[in-house]
Structure 1
Amino acid sequence: MYVILLRLFLLSVYVCHTSGLLNHDDSGTPSLDDVLDSLNDNDLVPERKITIGDLKTVILALQKDYTSRLTTLKSDFELYLRSQQNRIRYLEKKVAYQEKLINFLENGESFRSRETPPANNKQPNIHNGSNDVEAFNSTGYYSLDLKEMQQENWRKEMSGRSRRERQERLLIQEIPTSSAVVAFYAYMSKSLPANEATPHHVLIFDVVRTNIGNGYHSSTGVFIVPETGVYVFIWSFMNGDLAYHSTQLMVNTEEWGIVHSNTVSNGWMQSTSVVVAHVNKGDDVFVRTADWSHGTVYSAINGRTLFAGWKLH
């Protein structure tokens, strides 16, 4: 913009000079050469450079802030999407199981209805004091000995009862129950430096000592629930000098527990928390730093930062 205005000004001066309107005389009117000599383009350059530098600094700061926010939102969205996908799979399995259960109950009811004789059936006629009876069915008349018919009815009743008992046992067995052992324990092999222990940083416990059920993943620090049930989760972390941290236990995108630790000068502090939660198969459980985090998260031979859990029921 400044360059364009300067060129227009010089052009007007030049036109005036060539037309004889601008001449160097005794009145002190400057010539074109005097005007050019008096101009110094570098007078405005430092100020513009400072302004541009300030703008670049502001733009880079905003870009860094937006990038950090987008990264956090992306991470939260991916966790939420994964939890919803797991929930959908669980509901689909539940619907399929309920459909099987409905079909099973309908077949059992149909079986019982076939056992019960219709109300309009013709009753057996006993005549002439004999044990011969006449009974009517869909194929016509037939004769049975009364004693044999009673035994047949008794066998049908016992058969129907045993079938119902078997159906009830099968129904109980189809309800998904599991008593399999699920447990894990892992800790960090080294400390997490302050420049990485930023808010919402997922702690990765890379040394795995116990992983029954293969639910814990040391590459991501996430425990993926292998079976629905009630679980106990425990985590512990250590701060060094002048460090403070809040750590959260997350189930998918929801916070289930948080603990804070603030260490004074020349001191060390270990903080521990426990959570009991009912979680579903496929849920993600992990530990991360909260918004209030500063300093190094230590893990060494004198104190470990750890994460553990087991299925209670």
Structure 2
Amino acid sequence: MLVLVLLGAFSFSPSMSIELGYSKQRAPISEDMFHLGNNMESLYQTVRFLVDRNNDLESRMRRLENRNNDLESRMRRLENQYLTDVKKLNQDFHDSLRKHKNRIAVLEKGLRKQTELAMKLKKDNSQLEVVGDGFPDTEGKDTYPMEKRNTQEQHSKRLLAGIQPQTTSIIAFYAYMSTSHKEQGQHTLVFDTVKSNVGQAYHPGSGVFAVPQSGVYVFTWTVIHDGAADLSVILMVNSAAVGAAYANSRDGDQVTGMVVVDVNQGDHVYVRTYASWSSGDIKSDSSGRSSFAGWKLN
């Protein structure tokens, strides 16, 4: 009886055996579920990271595409501007070329006319070179005393008495200084570059015009003064001053004079600086020429 009771006490039904078996397996399943949940959470975080990374890459891609589109747009604008500039430069070049060709044609026509005129003058006027003019030619310095100057002029006239340029219907000359000159005190100005010398009466070696025919002449001179100083320039006929021009400037100036004078055949006409006001340099270059000119009034 006691045995039966004990057996009865420890007896269990089939359902109880299932529950016991389930309880024995429940712990491993819960652990697997826990690990599975952790794995799912980790996978979710990874997927979310990848999605965010993909969105960031897509955003950067869009920015790069926009940047690329902007660069392409700027490139097209630059190409259009370049083509426009090249077209304009090409047009300007051709316009300038046409203008220069027209200018050259005009200059060539003028040169032909000047050549024809020179040939005509050469044919109409005989050429005679006069050697020596009786004046010292030592760098243009006029240092002789007045008595020696007069003696020299008289000697010069005697030398030229039988060697005068042949008289022509036109007597005219124009010459200028080829270079600038430093201050030299009182001296005769030598205009050594001759542009016109009809009658061959002007001598570029000394700056003296030997009058070939008596009559009324016009003489004009321009001297560019460089520097803050006084400068007086005189037109001389032999030893007599017949005209003067004066300048006083801080930064340089120019003096221009003109006279109408009755001179005799054999007289010497030249330009010189005044003794008391002859400081400062004399300028003559491509920007401005110091010059001397004269012609006979018919």
- Structure of higher CA gyration radius: 2
Return the structure number with greater helix share. Answer: 2
If the length of structure 2 is used for normalisation, what is the TM-score?
0.47
If the length of structure 1 is used for normalisation, what is the TM-score?
0.45
